[in-house]
Amino acid sequence: MAEKIGIRPATIVIKDGKVLLVNSRYKDEEFYLFPGGGMKFGETIEEAAIRETLEETGAKVKIKDLFHVNEYIYADDWNKRSVSIFFIAEVVEISEPKTNDNGKIKEVKWIKLDELDNYDIRPKIIVDLIKNSLLESPRGLYSIDFKK
């Protein structure tokens, strides 16, 4: 059986000591994600990250650097996985979000860096890397999560 692989470009946007996140609801779980989503035909991964961030949060961003690649494997189907590619991005302009992702996005929120542990943010490895001040220095560029 061929694997089903989804690619999810996302951004890590930090401004004034706060990180931009979206509160999302999938099935019966609610948690925070870094803005991002699927790619459209003809887009580069960076273009998709910029577009998704604008649509979900209203923040027009500029990509600065690749931060991390996270592979997520679904426990109920090992042939299904998602690869999230996280970029460090800076805000160019802020307007209103253009979508709520069919009701999946409940809130767009700037969360203080020192309060990140108070929220269920996924994937957690990204929060850990940010907290360990690895935004500007060499870091582990790849991780893997397994759905439980």
Q: Catalytic residue positions?
A: 107
Residue that the structure tokens 């999938």 belong to: 26
Torsion of CA 62, 6, 57, 144, to 10 degrees: -80
**Which helix (H) or strand (E) element contains residue 50?**
helix 45-57
Our CA angle for 117, 128, 26, nearest 5°, is: 65
Tokens of 91: 């805000």
8-state DSSP, 115: G
Is 25 within 8 Å of 76 (Cβ atoms)?
A: no
